[in-house]
Amino acid sequence: MNIDELIESAKRFVLFWFVYAAIIWLILWLTSLTGDQNVTLKWHVLVLLSMILSGATTLALEMQRQRRDAHLALFIEKLQDLETTHTHTAHVLMRPDDSLAPLAAAINDVQHLNSRRIKIMQEQSSTMETLMENMPLGVLQITTERKIIQANDQARKLLGVSTNLVNAHYDNVIKYHRLMELFEQALRQKKNIRELVKLDNKMVDVSIVYYQTRERHYELLVLLYDMTEVIQMKDMQTSFVANASHELRTPLTAIAGFTETLLSGAQNDPVDRQEFLEIIQSETNRLLDLTDDILTLAKAPEQAHSLQEFNMSEMVDKIFNTKQPKDRLNLTLKNDVSETLMVKQDKRVFEQILTNLIGNAMKYNRQNGTVKVSAMVTAHELAFAVKDTGLGIPSDEQDRVFERFYRVDKSRTQSIPGTGLGLAIVHDLVEQSQGQIELESQVGVGSTITVTLPLQ
């Protein structure tokens, strides 16, 4: 009860008892006219007691009424709070013997239940919002009036829209005619639709779900998934299988052909037999090299790294000594790596990278050319380069040299043995090591391949 209510109650109380006292004293005055003083005294005492009792009763009833009014106002406020998202509103506290205590308890229970539901809804809303903004799918929610009521960043990115899509009609913000046709078809036929749609240079899997949100109310849920990389990967795998089959078939065909020739009688001619056996041996080695390279590519993503410290200069010398007996170009091999350079990497992977790069530099070099290996260490990286004075690579083909089975201008390189997988293996191994690989090349001058790896 505030001060204004107390003042108003006091005014009413004083006015009521002023009138009541005037009437009682009028009665007492009339009684005193009879002359009986005892009767007058008794009346005075009786009236005084009745005034005290009545005043106390009236005051108590008035205070109880105002207290009840205050509780009812509080109950109304609590019930109004149930319409909001407040979750920290205090409960109504009353004595157990109060007549309004059951109502207060019921309101407290409803308020507690409502608070729990609001918290659950807020948690679900937060989870859904986080999911929407971080999922790799673009999501649109569209009403039957063609209005977009929800859209995440991935959807805006895939649709090439920088402005906010929410509350906009999709035919005003989406520029892709086929996509809008699918929306209209789903709304008109009231069914789910799925189709692969080209959006500029992206291939997007579009899934449209027609669903009911409440009675006689339907919406579209549109899921957009960028399939460009998946399709490219599938095309690469298909191309890889086709190329691998072709590359495997060539030596197998040669081996089968010369074996059949030998069995048909050529084995009786020592000269032919020797020539054919050398060809079979060469093609068998080629087949083994190709098989090893394919297996290396297949295992590259699964290889576990085992760090080991080793001397890089000694490793380069070892590879030079291994490759030199096969050198028919009279190459000069230069090891410019510091003799004291110690490297901590996966030794097996590192050696495989160097072996492929040096092997490539030797195979595609010129007569009396040079192959040079150098290295430099910074605070966080190891960079090493393999430079040759060979054929060089045209600028329009340099982006493709790390593709599997790709070989530069086969008319120039058809006499050079190789599987076309060496640089692809190097590229995959460097990526697995979280490094980078770069190519600099000029036709007729030579090529330099630089590999940068993080220090372990």
| The predicted structure's pLDDT at residue 412 | 44
User: Which one is predicted more confidently, 184 or 171?
Assistant: 184
| The predicted structure's pLDDT at residue 231 | 85
| The predicted structure's pLDDT at residue 47 | 63
Q: Is the pTM of this model over 0.75?
A: no
Q: Are 435 and 453 in contact (CB under 8 A)?
A: yes
User: Does residue 296 have a pLDDT over 50?
Assistant: yes
User: Which one is predicted more confidently, 242 or 212?
Assistant: 212
- Per-residue confidence band for 87, with pLDDT thresholds at 50, 70 and 90: low
Tokens of 59: 């005051």
| The predicted structure's pLDDT at residue 2 | 52
User: Which one is predicted more confidently, 305 or 277?
Assistant: 277
User: Does residue 28 have a pLDDT over 90?
Assistant: no
| The predicted structure's pLDDT at residue 284 | 83
Contacts from 230-238 at CB under 8 Å and sequence distance 24+? 231/203, 236/404
d(CA 256, CA 262): 10
Q: Are 283 and 254 in contact (CB under 8 A)?
A: yes
User: Does residue 413 have a pLDDT over 50?
Assistant: no
d(CA 262, CA 281): 14
Is 380 strand, coil or helix?
coil
User: Which one is predicted more confidently, 125 or 451?
Assistant: 451
Torsion, Cα of 423, 427, 429, 433 (10° steps): 150
User: Does residue 247 have a pLDDT over 60?
Assistant: yes
| The predicted structure's pLDDT at residue 372 | 94
Q: Which stretch of 191-200, 224-233, 264-273, 380-389 has the lowest confidence by average pLDDT?
A: 264-273
d(CA 172, CA 313): 65
Mean pLDDT of 381-397: 88
| The predicted structure's pLDDT at residue 123 | 76
d(CA 321, CA 326): 10
310-to-80, 307, 313, 354, 358 alpha-carbon distances in Å? 76, 10, 9, 14, 19
Q: What is the pLDDT of residues 37-86, one digit of tens each?
A: 555 566 666 666 666 666 666 667 667 777 777 777 776 776 676 666 66
| The predicted structure's pLDDT at residue 41 | 61
- Per-residue confidence band for 429, with pLDDT thresholds at 50, 70 and 90: confident
Most confident of 164-178, 258-272, 395-409, 411-425: 164-178
| The predicted structure's pLDDT at residue 411 | 43
Could you give the percent of the chain with pLDDT greater than 90?
A: 16
User: Which one is predicted more confidently, 303 or 116?
Assistant: 116
| The predicted structure's pLDDT at residue 335 | 93
**To which residue do tokens 């992206």 refer?**
202
Q: Are 17 and 51 in contact (CB under 8 A)?
A: yes
What string of H, E and C letters represents the secondary structure of 120-140?
HHHHHHHHHHHHHHHCCCEEE
User: Does residue 254 have a pLDDT over 50?
Assistant: yes
Q: From the CA atom positions of the chain, what is the Rg in Å?
A: 47
Mean pLDDT of 375-399: 87
Q: Are 409 and 395 in contact (CB under 8 A)?
A: no
| The predicted structure's pLDDT at residue 389 | 92
Is 37 strand, coil or helix?
helix
Residue 335's H or E segment, with its range, is strand 332-335
Q: Which stretch of 230-234, 286-290, 409-413, 446-450 has the lowest confidence by average pLDDT?
A: 409-413
Q: Are 227 and 204 in contact (CB under 8 A)?
A: yes
Q: What is the pLDDT of residues 335-374, one digit of tens each?
A: 999 999 998 888 888 888 898 899 888 888 889 999 999 9
Q: What is the pLDDT of residues 89-143, one digit of tens each?
A: 666 666 676 766 777 777 777 777 877 877 777 777 777 677 767 777 888 989 9
d(CA 378, CA 382): 6
Q: Please return the burial class of 137, using the count of CB atoms within 10 Å of its CB with bins 0-12, 13-18 and 19+.
A: middle
| The predicted structure's pLDDT at residue 352 | 84
Q: Please return the burial class of 171, using the count of CB atoms within 10 Å of its CB with bins 0-12, 13-18 and 19+.
A: exposed
